[in-house]
Structure 1
Amino acid sequence: MNDETSAPGIYDVAVIGGGPAGLATAIALAQSGARTALIARRAPYGDNRTTALLVGSIDFLEQLDVWRRCEEQAARLETMRLVDDTGRLIRAPEVRFSSREIGLDAFGNNIENRALVAALEARAAGLAGLSRLDDEGEAVTPGDADVAIRTRQGRSLFARLVTGADGRHSLCREAASIELRRRELDQAALTFNVTHTRPHRNVSTEFHTPQGPCVFVPLPGDRSSVVWVMAPADAERLITLGDTEFSQAAERQSHSILGRIGVEPGRHLFPLAIERPAQFAKNRVALVGEAAHVLPPIGAQGLNMGLRDAADIAGIVRQAMSQGEDPGSAQVLSGFDLARRADVASRTFVIDMANRSLLSDFLPLQMMRAAGLHLIGAWGPLRRLAMREGLAPSWRPAPALKETPVDRM
Structure 2
Amino acid sequence: MTVPPSPLPPLPPRFEAAVVGAGAVGLAAALALARDGVATALVGRHAPVADGRTVALLDGSVRLLTALGAWAEIAPHAAPLAEMHLVDDTGSLFRPPPARFSAAEIGLDAFGWNVESARLVETLRRQARTTPGLTLFEANSTGMQRTEGAALLTLADGRSLAAQLVVAADGGRSPLRQAAGLRTREWSYPQAALTTLLAHERPHRDVSTEFHTRNGPFTLVPLPGGQRSSLVWVTGERAAKRLSGLDDAALAAAVEHQARSMLGAMRIDGPRGLVPMRGLSVASPVAERLALVGEAAHVFPPIGAQGLNLGLRDAAALRDAVLSAREAGRDPGIPASLAGFARSRGIDARLRGAAVDMLNRSLLTDLVPVDALRGLGLVVLSSVAPLRRLVMREGVQPRLGAPRLMR
SS at match of 1:218: strand
Runs of 5+ consecutive residues of structure 1 not aligned to the other structure: 1-5, 402-409
2:402 matches 1:397: yes
By how many angstroms is 1:144 displaced? 4.7
Residue 294 of structure 1 is matched in structure 2 by: 299
Q: Which residue of 2 aligns with 1:181?
A: 185
Tell me, in whole angstroms, the C-alpha distance in 1 between the residues paired with 2:116 and 2:210.
Answer: 19
**Residue in structure 2 matched with residue 313 of structure 1 by the alignment:** 318
| 2:152 equivalent in structure 1 | 148
Where in structure 2 are the equivalents of 1:91-240 lying within 5 Å? 91-221=95-225, 222-240=227-245
SS of match in other structure, 1:70: helix
Q: Give 2:276's aligned residue.
A: 271
Alignment TM-score, normalising by the size of structure 2: 0.95
How far apart, in 1, do the equivalents of 2:273 and 2:402 lie?
A: 36
Question: In the TM superposition, what is the alpha-carbon distance from 1:48 to its structure 2 partner?
Answer: 2.9
Aligned to 2:6: none
Once structures 1 and 2 are overlaid, which stretch shifts more, 319-328 or 74-83?
A: 319-328
Q: 1: distance between equivalents of 2:217 and 2:11?
A: 49
Corresponding letter in the other structure for 1:257: M
Contact kept? 1:299, 1:390, Cα under 8 Å: no
Letter in 1 for 2:301: P
The answer to whether residue 375 in structure 2 is matched with residue 370 in structure 1 is yes
Shift of 1:298: 1.4
Match of 1:382 in 2: 387
Write out aligned runs for 1:313-352 (5 A). 313-352=318-357
Deviations 1:209-233 (A, max 9, x none): 0000010000011100000000001
Q: What is the CA–CA distance in structure 2 between the aligned matches of 1:278 and 1:174, rounded to whole Å?
A: 13
Aligned residue type for 1:284: R
The amino acid that maps onto 1:116 is L
- Say whether the 8 Å CA contact 1:15–1:163 is kept in structure 2: yes
Runs (5+) with no aligned partner, structure 2: 1-9
Deviation larger for 131-140 or 257-266: 257-266
Contact 2:316-2:403 at 8 Å conserved across structures: no
User: Partners in 2 of 1:14 and 1:375 — Cα distance?
Assistant: 47
The amino acid that maps onto 2:237 is: P
- Computing the radius of gyration from Cα coordinates, the structure with the larger value is 2
Q: Give the CA deviation at 1:82.
A: 0.2
Equivalent residue letter for 2:36 = S
1:405 counterpart residue number: none
Contact 1:11 1:35 in 2 (8 A): yes
Q: Write the distance in 2 (CA, Å) between the matches of 1:212 and 1:54.
A: 22
Q: What is the identity, as a one-letter code, of the residue corresponding to 1:350?
A: A
Deviation larger for 388-397 or 356-365: 388-397
CA distance in 1, matches of 2:148, 2:305: 38
Q: CA deviation at 1:170?
A: 0.5
Size of the aligned set, in residue pairs, is 396
Letter in 2 for 1:19: G
- Which of the numbers 281, 284, 287 marks the counterpart of 1:282? 287
Task: For 1:80 and 1:215, locate their aligned partners in 2 and report how far apart those are by CA, in whole Å.
Answer: 10
1:7 Cα shift?
A: 6.2
Aligned match of 1:407:
none
CA distance in 2, matches of 1:142, 1:176: 10
- Aligned with 1:22: secondary structure? helix
Distance 2:80 2:371 in 1: 32
1:37 counterpart residue number:
41
Rounded to whole Å, the distance in 1 between the matches of 2:21 and 2:261 is: 40
Equivalence for 1:3:
none
